[in-house]
Structure 1
Amino acid sequence: MPEGQGVGIPAWLSWTHFLNGFFLLLIIRTGIRIKGEKTPSGLWSSKRVKKRRMSLTIWFHLVLDAAWLINGVVYVVLLFATGAWVRIVPTSWEVFPNALSALIHYLSLDWPTHSGWTGYNGLQQLLYFLIVFVASPLAVLTGIRLSAFWPRDDRRINRIFTVDLAKAIHFPTMLFFVGFTIVHVGLVLATGALRNLNAMYGGQDAVNWTGFWIFVASLIVMAAGWIAARDSVIAPIAGRFGDLRMRPKR
């Protein structure tokens, strides 16, 4: 990275990182449910546009998408406003041989020497760039295409950007996020857990338990969100923003 730039993990980065993980977890949860849901537990429609009906699960999925998107926009704005963009945007072609070298180290279980506090290695930088500027926009664009808010009357754009194409991109993108998260968390814990967690959650470049316990607290919040993401909790909220008709339980 450019000398003297992008050093340290500011508080806003830690918060947006946590919120990204929190919303993404629930988005994946609702996405899996949508994939296997044959009979919706309830149907939601806007009070203004009665014709656009969707299942309660899809409504919650879209609400989470909107929250995740807002958090992402805040992250990107602050990323460029503070100059922290140099952490994940390559500024030299040397990133590619560096990434290859890091990949060989990881595959051989001989962890490459690096410090997330001062910067990322080439492989991390490329993957984070891919997540933020490629995979996330793809997830948003295809998600909008599959939603009830997409303009159905525009035949030209619908002929080019079909529902089948959106589905072919949207679900694999979710799988990419899942795979990345599993590997990412695994490597954070395997390559110096206390220091890595302290950098992201504790806001300091030190080896102590501060970041670890904040990380544990964040996992508890995520688990609570996962448990709370059920119809009995979501339905009353959805009913405040539109017309909701729940199917009677058998």
Structure 2
Amino acid sequence: MVTTRKSSSKETTLKKKMGPYARKTILTTAVVVAMVAVVLAAKWLRSSGVIDGFLADYPGHARLPETSPTGFPAWLGWQHFLNMFFLVLIIRSGWQVRRTTRPDAYWTRHNKGFIRTKGSPAKISLDLWLHLSVDILWLINGLVFVILLGVTGHWMRIVPTSWDVIPNALSAAVQYASLDWPTEDSWISYNALQLLAYFLVVFVAAPLAFATGVRMSGIWPQQAARLNRAYPIAVARSVHFPVMVFFVLFVVVHVFLVLTTGVLRNLNHIYAGTDDAGWLGFGLFVGSLVVISATVVLARPVFLRPVASLMGKVSKR
């Protein structure tokens, strides 16, 4: 009897240990199978000739206004670097906030100066302080980016201006899926699928991240009963994390395409502002990775405490 109970207990323990691993294995296998199926289906569509007419009519590039600018100005390169820099820190700190149960340090805002409230400021983890602080910098950078897009006319490169962007995006998606990728010339224009992706990132995902982040932050008026009923915090939480996952997936796909569709030329576009295959852009890219990696390594309590102390009180509890 004792042996049976011990055996049952061991089996239960084993199932608990194997549960997450098994689920991850099944999920990974399902994703791989689905990707292979998509590739095979796309290849069949293209080889069968069923969509030849569609691809001829919609090659993957939507029409842009005649006044649409070309090239990548210097400000866009800086904006790209800062966005990448802030986004990496946001994702890392957000993941730490989500996964850490016992933070190493806490931060309480000084209730004086420019920001002053009637109630006592809430104590938050140092990870959350970093997350919110970088969020603010990311939003400022994004606001500057949108303003410059409007002033310079570069908004036309990432905002749909004609309905043919939809069939062209479908065409580009089929071409990507079939592993026979559409012709790229991002110096002139993005293909329709890229255009829609950038539009979603800038004008949908980023505002969603802001709107849900504000609802979950301490600046939200907790006593506003009607407002809280209209916009429950549970809704914000259910959207905020998927938005982060979307950003991660976008970054992964974006980097993959940059590296596999003419890496030197692509890096020169965004880092050096030139349309050639030299090594300057690659060197600047490597330098940016060094800066970002060093910042991630240094984003620890021992280095964050002095900075956080300038704006509040840092404590262990």
TM-score computed with the length of structure 1 as normaliser: 0.96
CA distance in 1, matches of 2:189, 2:69: 7
Aligned to 2:82: 19
Deviation at 1:90, TM superposition (A): 0.8
User: Are the equivalent residues in 1 in contact too, given 2:184–2:261 (CA < 8 A)?
Assistant: no
Deviation at 1:4, TM superposition (A): 4.5
Unaligned segments of structure 2, at least 5 residues: 1-63, 112-116
Aligned to 1:104: 174
CA distance in 2, matches of 1:46, 1:189: 43
Is 1:170 aligned with 2:240? yes
Is 1:58 aligned with 2:128? yes
Of 138, 148, 155, the residue aligned with 1:85 is: 155
Aligned to 2:6: none
CA distance in 1, matches of 2:212, 2:161: 29
User: Are the equivalent residues in 1 in contact too, given 2:110–2:121 (CA < 8 A)?
Assistant: no
Is 1:6 aligned with 2:69? yes
* Bigger Rg, structure 1 or 2: 2
User: Are the equivalent residues in 1 in contact too, given 2:213–2:240 (CA < 8 A)?
Assistant: yes
- The AA in structure 2 aligned to 1:33 is Q
CA distance in 2, matches of 1:43, 1:206: 49
User: Are the equivalent residues in 2 in contact too, given 1:53–1:148 (CA < 8 A)?
Assistant: no
- The AA in structure 2 aligned to 1:173 is V
Of 256, 261, 265, the residue aligned with 1:195 is: 265
CA distance in 1, matches of 2:255, 2:210: 23
Aligned to 1:33: 96
Aligned to 2:210: 140
User: Are the equivalent residues in 1 in contact too, given 2:212–2:237 (CA < 8 A)?
Assistant: yes
- The AA in structure 2 aligned to 1:61 is H
| Structure with the larger RCO, 1 or 2 (CA within 8 Å, 6+ apart) | 1
SS in 2 for 1:2: coil
Deviation at 1:109, TM superposition (A): 1.3
TM-score computed with the length of structure 2 as normaliser: 0.76
CA distance in 2, matches of 1:180, 1:112: 19
SS in 2 for 1:44: strand
Is 1:113 aligned with 2:183? yes
**Which portions of structure 1, spanning 4 or more consecutive aligned residues, are displaced by more than 6 angstroms?**
none
SS in 1 for 2:213: helix
SS in 1 for 2:185: coil
CA distance in 2, matches of 1:175, 1:80: 28
Unaligned segments of structure 1, at least 5 residues: none
- The AA in structure 1 aligned to 2:178 is S
Aligned to 2:282: 212
For 1:41-84, what per-residue CA distance to the aligned partner results, in whole angstroms no more than 9, with x for missing partners?
22211121533221111111100000000000000000001111
User: Are the equivalent residues in 2 in contact too, given 1:27–1:65 (CA < 8 A)?
Assistant: yes
CA distance in 1, matches of 2:126, 2:98: 13
- The AA in structure 1 aligned to 2:268 is N
User: Are the equivalent residues in 2 in contact too, given 1:42–1:56 (CA < 8 A)?
Assistant: yes
For 1:187-229, what per-residue CA distance to the aligned partner results, in whole angstroms no more than 9, with x for missing partners?
1110111111111111011111111111111111111111011
Count how many residue pairs are aligned between Structure 1 and Structure 2: 247
Of 296, 301, 309, the residue aligned with 1:226 is: 296
SS in 1 for 2:315: strand
Aligned to 1:124: 194
CA distance in 1, matches of 2:221, 2:211: 13
User: Are the equivalent residues in 2 in contact too, given 1:9–1:203 (CA < 8 A)?
Assistant: yes
CA distance in 2, matches of 1:34, 1:172: 15
Aligned to 2:43: none
CA distance in 1, matches of 2:213, 2:67: 39
CA distance in 1, matches of 2:290, 2:65: 37
Aligned to 1:180: 250
User: Are the equivalent residues in 1 in contact too, given 2:265–2:276 (CA < 8 A)?
Assistant: yes
Deviation at 1:3, TM superposition (A): 2.4
SS in 2 for 1:24: helix
Is 1:44 aligned with 2:107? yes
